[in-house]
């Protein structure tokens, strides 16, 4: 039950951060330094990666549980 709730929270966070990253990366590609002048995308990418790994671990546990 807790795993389900946690899983759905991390899933939503992961989706949200994915959309954030894609939108910001596209903006940066279109208009140089528009995003990177204010936001360090590396930190956002790191948080996104950590949430992705946690999500994978939770999903794996969910799959292996009887």
Distance in Å, CB of 62 to other proteins, minimum:
17
Q: Which residues of 17-29 are buried (b: 16+ CB within 10 A; e: fewer)?
A: beeeeeebeeebe
Based on the shown chain and the rule CB under 8 A, indicate whether residue 12 belongs to the binding site for other proteins.
yes
**CA-to-CA distance for 58 and 47, rounded, in angstroms?**
16
Based on the shown chain and the rule CB under 8 A, indicate whether residue 45 belongs to the binding site for other proteins.
no
Based on the shown chain and the rule CB under 8 A, indicate whether residue 4 belongs to the binding site for other proteins.
no
Q: What is the binding site for other proteins (CB under 8 A)?
A: 8, 12, 16, 19-20, 23-24, 27, 31-38
């Amino acid at each position: 039950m807790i795993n389900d709730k946690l899983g759905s929270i991390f899933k939503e966070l992961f989706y949200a951060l994915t959309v954030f990253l894609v939108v910001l990366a596209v903006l940066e590609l279109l208009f140089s330094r528009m995003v990177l002048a204010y936001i360090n995308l590396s930190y956002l990418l790191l948080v996104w990666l950590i949430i992705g790994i946690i999500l994978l671990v939770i999903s794996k546990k969910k799959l292996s549980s009887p």
